[in-house]
Structure 1
Amino acid sequence: MNISDEILANPILHELQNLLENQTAKGIAKYPNTVNVDDYSLSGWIKHAQEETLDKLVYLTCMKVKATEMELKIDKLLSIARFYAHPQTYAWIDDKSRYIPSDIEDDKGNKARKVLEELGYESY
């Protein structure tokens, strides 16, 4: 398999190739040419890299916030799933609380609907 075939076969490499092509097209549309080593001095390239790195840190911080929000939602969904999922003697909503089967029957899905609504999802 040659490099082009490998890039086409690998979804990650293919996505990176598409990103590079799209970014290059944007650069050509905005500037008269692609990257040129003589566009900046060494200190200019370092400054430019620092600025890009700071932008990357902003993006990474945003992604971290989103990941934390998603983890909290997943934890809530898992806790309510545990409440309803246990088929026998006890069901756990967390590691501390136990509910007997009649608690689950009496609840009639209210805990699940409440969690879904808190997370911004439509309940049925």
Structure 2
Amino acid sequence: MKTIKNLIIGLFLVAFTLTATAQDKMAKADAVKTISLEQTKGEFTQKKLTLSEGTYIFKVSNNNAAPEVGLVLIEDGKDGSKPENHISEAYVSQMVKHGKTESSKEVTLKKGTYKYFCPFNETPEYTLIVK
């Protein structure tokens, strides 16, 4: 009898753990937001972004901007020409070719001001504000 009781408790704990893990994964997936950015020749079509604190994935589309484009995200006031100042998680997974879209890794942004640009399409630095 004691063995059956222990087995039932064990099964309950396994089921509870699996349910809690699944709910955590679903909550995290819901918390990640996607920001779509489009590049045309010499510019991003989105000139300024205002976001809330959180985790984001950046999707960058190349609308005949250049043979290949990308994304650099830096904290405002830092030198964007120095790779050590780049928020590397915001880099797209591979260079974005004409007519294609590529995504970054998950990027967690805290309150502050950031700049984003593309060195390959030679865009200006645009402002991204996180409130």
TM, length-normalised to structure 1: 0.32
Greater percentage in strand: 2
Greater gyration radius = 1
Greater percentage in helix: 1
Instruction: State the structure with bigger RCO (CA 8 A, min sep 6), 1 or 2.
Output: 2
